[in-house]
């Protein structure tokens, strides 16, 4: 129960940051350009720094084995989400298919896992986060556009998350001890992740008429799938693996996160309708304040039993 309360508290803190973003946009203290700039800081600076920071720990056999397990389980959780999205939506709704397949495991999952399980647990989400970035540039764009020609290998190789993952792995296995003049700015930038990410979410929320978030049945169905069906399938399948509890909880929490903002970003990038994506992100993010503590509590209880 204590773990779920920590998750609830962290979700409440995230809600406060979202409210700040909402108010900033509604009072015109920040505009669309400002929101995009913050998003760029997150994608190109903050998230990569968070990923690299996760690897700045002493190398041990146990951590290495757990990290390899986390990469495999992260890939499996993504496969589950992709299959569920494809089965439910097929080609009928590319935006909701994309949003089902890819959770907000970067912007929301990383700070949540850091707060609930500690900074050292973040290393177990990095592989999933990097693989998700690659899949969004490939499979994700394809299900949105049905156009294979927009998939560019250069964009995949230059993905900030992938570059950060490779750098982090090198630092981990080489056991580099970075000087304080480097680690201090890294710690400071890492601390920006939760506030900036949730402020951006609040700005997205402010751009959407609140009544629209709650009037479409298909968005409620999406939230049920993204917040409960996918995490529950993942959770019960993971019970079969004899893996460290922290690793399992990390991937389960990441797979339980709401829809990620990238469904909107990639829709805009490809000149597609963004309404369903925005509604899916906003509603699932709001509902996740309730669903995440429930899923975490159930997962923790089941893992204690087995």
CATH architecture of 2-305: Up-down Bundle (1.20)
Do 244 and 177 touch, CB atoms closer than 8 A? Answer: no
Lowest mean pLDDT among 19-28, 102-111, 246-255, 296-305: 102-111
Evaluate if residue 79 carries a pLDDT over 60.
Answer: yes
Residue recorded with tokens 């409960």:
228
The per-residue pLDDT for range 21-38, each reduced to its tens digit, is: 999 999 999 998 888 888
Q: What is the pLDDT, as a whole number, of residue 264?
A: 79
Do 293 and 301 touch, CB atoms closer than 8 A? Answer: no
Evaluate if residue 1 carries a pLDDT over 70.
Answer: no
Domain boundaries, the chain: 2-305
Mean pLDDT estimate for the chain: 87
The per-residue pLDDT for range 34-47, each reduced to its tens digit, is: 888 887 888 788 88
For the whole model, what pTM was predicted? Answer: 0.87
- Three-state SS string over the chain comes to CHHHHHHHHHHHHHHHHHHHHHHHHHCCCCCHHHHHHHHHHHHHHHHHHHHHHHCCCCCCHHHHHHHHHHHHHHHHHHHHHHHHHHHHHCCCCHHHHHHHHCECHHHHHHHHHHHHHCHHHHHHHHHHHHHHHHHHHHHHHHHHHCCHHHCCHHHHHCCHHHHHHHHHHHHHHHCCCCCHHHHHHHHHHHCCHHHHHHHHHHHHHHCCCHHHHCCCHHHHHHHHHHHHHHHHHHHHHHCCCCCCHHHHHHHHHHHCCCECCHHHHHHHHCCCCCHHHHHHHHHHHHHHHHHHHHHHHHHHHHHHHC
The per-residue pLDDT for range 119-172, each reduced to its tens digit, is: 888 889 988 988 888 888 888 888 988 877 777 777 777 778 788 889 989 999
Q: What is the pLDDT, as a whole number, of residue 80?
A: 97
Do 69 and 250 touch, CB atoms closer than 8 A? Answer: no
In order of 38, 129, 177, 205, 215, the CA distances from 192 in angstroms are 11, 18, 23, 20, 34
Do 225 and 68 touch, CB atoms closer than 8 A? Answer: no
């Amino acid at each position: 129960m204590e773990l779920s309360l920590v998750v609830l508290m962290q979700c409440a803190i995230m809600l406060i940051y979202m409210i700040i973003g909402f108010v900033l946009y509604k009072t015109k203290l920040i505009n669309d350009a400002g929101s995009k700039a913050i998003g760029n800081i997150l994608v190109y600076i903050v998230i990569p720094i968070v990923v690299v920071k996760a690897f700045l720990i002493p190398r041990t056999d146990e951590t290495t084995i757990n990290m390899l397990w986390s990469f495999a389980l992260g890939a499996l959780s993504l496969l589950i989400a992709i299959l569920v999205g494809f089965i439910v939506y097929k080609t009928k709704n590319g935006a909701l298919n994309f949003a089902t397949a890819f959770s907000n495991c970067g912007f929301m999952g990383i700070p949540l896992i850091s707060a609930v399980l500690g900074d050292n647990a973040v290393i177990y989400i990095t592989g999933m986060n990097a693989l998700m970035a690659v899949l969004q540039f490939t499979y994700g764009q394809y299900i949105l556009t049905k156009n294979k020609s927009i998939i560019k290998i250069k964009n995949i190789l230059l993905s900030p998350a992938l570059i950060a993952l490779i750098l982090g792995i090198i630092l981990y296995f080489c056991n580099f001890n970075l000087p304080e003049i480097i680690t201090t700015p890294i710690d400071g930038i890492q601390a920006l992740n939760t506030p900036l990410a949730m402020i951006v979410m609040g700005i997205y929320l402010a751009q959407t008429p609140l009544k629209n978030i709650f009037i479409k049945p298909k968005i409620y169905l999406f939230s049920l799938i993204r917040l409960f069906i996918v995490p529950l399938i993942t959770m019960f399948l993971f019970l079969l693996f004899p893996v460290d509890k922290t690793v399992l909880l990390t991937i389960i929490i990441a797979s339980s996160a709401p829809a990620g903002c990238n469904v909107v970003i990639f829709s805009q990038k490809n000149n597609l309708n963004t309404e369903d994506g925005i509604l899916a992100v906003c509603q699932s993010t709001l509902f996740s304040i309730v669903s995440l503590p429930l899923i975490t509590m159930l997962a923790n209880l089941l893992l204690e039993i087995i």
